Structure 1
Amino acid sequence: MAQIDLTPARKERLADTVYGAILSGITSGKFAPGDKLPSEAEFSLAFDVSRPVVREALLRLSTDGLIQSRRGIGTFVSTRPSTRLTELADAASLSGFLRAFEPRIVLETEAARLAAMRRSRADLGTIRQTIDDLSKAIEANELGQEQDIAFHNAIAHAAGNEYFPALLEDLRMPVTETMNIGLELARERSTARRRRIIEEHTRIFNAIAAEDADAAGSYMKYHLLQARSALLDASHLEPTNELGEDSE
């Protein structure tokens, strides 16, 4: 079994620290998909933290799809994120960034639904422009963070309730960080993966324009779930040919 060097965790954000250290072990390849992780007791001893802290970190890793517990056998690595993930953000902070997706999905899914029922012609023009701007940024191999944020803000405003953009603003820091990471990772992946970002935005826009509230909400939820998965799986949605190589 692969070994990982562990150092005692700080007495603050302990579960995030443990999460980050294990995640670093996975991204670095010290723990490969299929490898069995040390037990709770072993991690507890190595980090000098309580087993409940370790259990919380492992639960978060499991929720994020990075590990899987098998009753009576142990805990195993499920997938490996890009090796750049922990270069683009502090590993311990990633746990908090990823948790922000949960309220964001609830908030933005409903905002998209309401936008489909309440949007004005001006709202549609603004949303459409953000997609065009993001497409140009991606084609120019730019990050496109400002354009991506503008798209989600435009939909929040189109919902016709000032609390949606205000609540989204409360999540600005983790949202911005996850967008930065996701767009940076997408930039180094296949052209098809980068185009999917535009396609997902366009589906949301088309549903809002057609006043199809259910479709708008569903497409927004799908888009955010895909964004979350892309952070955690280096091969997420990458097209491959019969030889298993990237088709682009």
Structure 2
Amino acid sequence: MAGLTLQPKRKERLGDQLYGQILEQIVSGALKEGDKLPSEKELCLMFEVSRPVVREAMMLLQADGLVVARQGSGTYVQRRPPQGLIAIAGASDIAGILRCYELRVPLEGEAAALAAKRRSSEQLGQIKAALDDLGRVVEARASASAADFAFHRAVAEASCNEMFVSILESLHAAIENSMAVALNITREGSDQRIRRVLDEHSRIYEAIAMGDADAANLAMRYHINRARQRITDQHQDV
């Protein structure tokens, strides 16, 4: 319980809000790696919330690898995200951003696989143009979320299934926001990290160009999972 300085709230008792409050304490260092979190009962009393709300927040924190539950012992901080994370995105928004990445993994993985099977030469050219544009923006360390979305949209279009495009467009704001967070962290990182991000996109393009559906699916899933890790783990220059 050391370092825990959370303030109870009287409104908006949702799991994401509690997730955000605990996340903020982990990012700030008030809760350090290895620190034990209060028990479920203690969190309920501290925040005046129900057990289901606490359980939801703990489930999300565990899913993101930020805390680990040890049977018979309690829940402990396992990983600290980058310190600048809260400045880039509000603590209460991070849970939604990470859920967006969770959705994108299977969705865009399948879109990439279909693109490898169905894309036309013109569509492949559009993916390459979007990739080149993304490379220029990222290497200039400029805001790249719009260019990143354009690349992923081009892949969805090449699937020749308009539903993938419709879903991406319906989630445009959420997806671009999630991209912006990961890309802002990348922009502040090393040149090696920037090269890795561009290489991930290049592998997606190359697999689609070769018509290798399995490789395209894997490359897209790998890229999105890595982007998610950049948000949650300060120790890996991923």
Counterpart CA distance in 2 for 1:86 and 1:46 is 23
Give the deviation of 1:13 after TM superposition.
5.3
Contact 1:6 1:21 survives alignment (8 Å): yes
The TM-score with structure 2 as length reference comes to 0.96
CA apart distance, 1:10: 4.7
Identity over aligned pairs, percent: 47
Instruction: Indicate yes or no: 2:149 matched with 1:144.
Output: no
Counterpart of 1:236, as a letter, is Q
Q: How many residues align?
A: 238
Q: Tell me how far apart the structure 1 counterparts of residues 13 and 116 of structure 2 sit (CA, whole Å).
A: 40
**In 2, are the aligned partners of 1:3 and 1:30 still within 8 Å (CA)?**
yes
Superposition pairs for residues 172-187 of structure 1, below 5 Å?
A: 172-187=172-187
Worse-superposed segment, 56-65 or 172-181: 172-181
Aligned to 2:49: 49
- Preserved contact between residue 133 and residue 147 of structure 1 (Cα < 8 Å): yes
- State how far apart, in whole Å, the 1-side matches of 2:90 and 2:144 are: 22
What do residues 48-79 of structure 1 show as CA deviations (whole Å, max 9, x unaligned)?
A: 10122111101100001100000000111111
Distance 1:221 1:195 in 2: 18
**Unmatched segments (≥5 aa) in structure 1:** 239-248
* Cα distance in 2 between the residues matched to 1:180 and 1:74: 34
Task: Tell me what 2:158 maps to.
Answer: 158
Amino acid at match of 1:134: L
**Counterpart residue identity of residue 180, structure 1:** A
Residue 9 of structure 1, CA deviation: 3.0
Aligned ranges 1:18-33 → 2 under 5 Å? 18-33=18-33
Q: Which residue of 2 aligns with 1:244?
A: none
Higher mean displacement: 57-66 or 7-16? 7-16
Q: Report the Cα distance in structure 1 between the residues aligned to 2:70 and 2:193, rounded to whole angstroms.
A: 32
**2:119 counterpart of 1:119:** yes
Q: Which residue of 1 aligns with 2:193?
A: 193
Note the alpha carbon deviations across 1:192-237, whole angstroms, 9 max, x for none: 0011111001001000000000000010000000001111011223
Q: How far did 1:32 drift?
A: 1.0
Q: Look up the SS of the partner of 1:100 in the other structure.
A: helix
Distance in 2, matches of 1:102 and 1:180, equals 16
* 2:62 paired residue number: 62
Q: Is the 8 A contact 1:15 1:57 kept in 2?
A: yes
Query: Which has the higher mean CA deviation after the structures are superposed, 17-26 or 50-59?
Result: 50-59
- Pairwise CA RMSD: 1.2
* Structure 2 portions without partners, runs of 5+: none
SS of the counterpart of 1:75?
strand
2:3 matched residue in structure 1: 3
- Which residue does 1:230 correspond to in 2? 230
Deviations 1:10-47 (A, max 9, x none): 54351111000000000000111111111111111111
Q: Aligned partners of 2:197, 2:180: CA distance in 1, in Å?
A: 13
Scaled by the length of structure 1, the TM-score of the pair is 0.93
